[in-house]
Amino acid sequence: HTVSNTGQQAETFTLEASSASGWVTTISPTLVTLAPGEDQAVQVQLFVPDGVGGAVDITTVTARSTTEPAVLDTATDTTRITGIFMPIIRQASSVIPPTPTPTPSATPP
């Protein structure tokens, strides 16, 4: 995501992320100060719990002015869990080398 200051003064914003499913989210940074016209990239992470194949989550990202809390904007991310990855780890079987086949010896005539 990108947070932009479209106002005429420098502004500090608090940033929050919230999962509709109650899953853990993180956002970095959580506080940005921007000059007029300046913007900054923000990273949002959603941690998907085990066993939720087929689930859909809506994560809401909110940027709110610290000086005027009524000034805010939101964005939403939709995450669809299409399947569950399950690695298969097999134990290597022991390999026994074959017994050599005897070779016939030549007999004199």
Choose among 78, 81, 75, 109: nearest CA to 4. Answer: 75
For domain 2-80, the CATH superfamily is Immunoglobulins (2.60.40.10)
- Residues 6 or more apart in contact with residue 27 via CB below 8 angstroms: 15, 16, 17, 42, 43, 44, 45, 61
Reported as a single tens digit per residue, the pLDDT across 30-77 is: 999 999 999 999 999 999 998 888 899 999 999 999 999 999 999 999
Domain boundaries, the chain: 2-80
Reported as a single tens digit per residue, the pLDDT across 79-99 is: 998 876 667 777 666 666 666
**pTM strictly above 0.75:** no
